[in-house]
Structure 1
Amino acid sequence: MDNILRNFVKAANQGDFSLDLTLNVNGALVTGTTVSAKKYMQSLSRTFENGNEISQELSEKLSRASEVNYAHEEISYIHLEEAQVYNGDSKPTPSEGSFYWRGKLDEVDGFFLGKIDAN
Structure 2
Amino acid sequence: MDNILQNFVKAANQGDFSLDITLNVNGTLVTGTTVSAKKYMQSLSGTFDGGNEISQKLSEKLSRTSDINYSQEEIRFIHLENAQVYNGDAQPTPSEGSFHWRGKLEEVDGFFLGRIDAK
Q: TM-score range by the shorter chain?
A: over 0.9
Shift of 1:90: 3.7
**Residue of structure 1 equivalent to 2:57:** 57
1:88 aligns with 2:70: no
2:60 and 2:21 map into 1 onto residues whose CA distance is: 30
Equivalenced residues, count: 119
2:69 and 2:118 map into 1 onto residues whose CA distance is: 34
**Residue of structure 1 equivalent to 2:105:** 105
1:20 aligns with 2:20: yes
**Residue of structure 1 equivalent to 2:11:** 11
1:90 and 1:111 map into 2 onto residues whose CA distance is: 20
TM-score, structure 2 as length reference:
0.99
1:106 and 1:37 map into 2 onto residues whose CA distance is: 16
1:59 and 1:81 map into 2 onto residues whose CA distance is: 19
CA RMSD of the aligned region, Å? 0.5
1:14 and 1:87 map into 2 onto residues whose CA distance is: 31
1:21 and 1:14 map into 2 onto residues whose CA distance is: 18
What 5-or-longer segments of structure 2 have no aligned partner?
none
2:87 and 2:108 map into 1 onto residues whose CA distance is: 15
Runs of 4+ in 1 over 2 A off after TM superposition: none
Shift of 1:89: 1.8
What 5-or-longer segments of structure 1 have no aligned partner?
none
1:108 and 1:117 map into 2 onto residues whose CA distance is: 20
What one-letter code is carried by the residue in structure 1 that aligns with 2:9?
V
Shift of 1:53: 0.3
Q: Percent identity?
A: 82
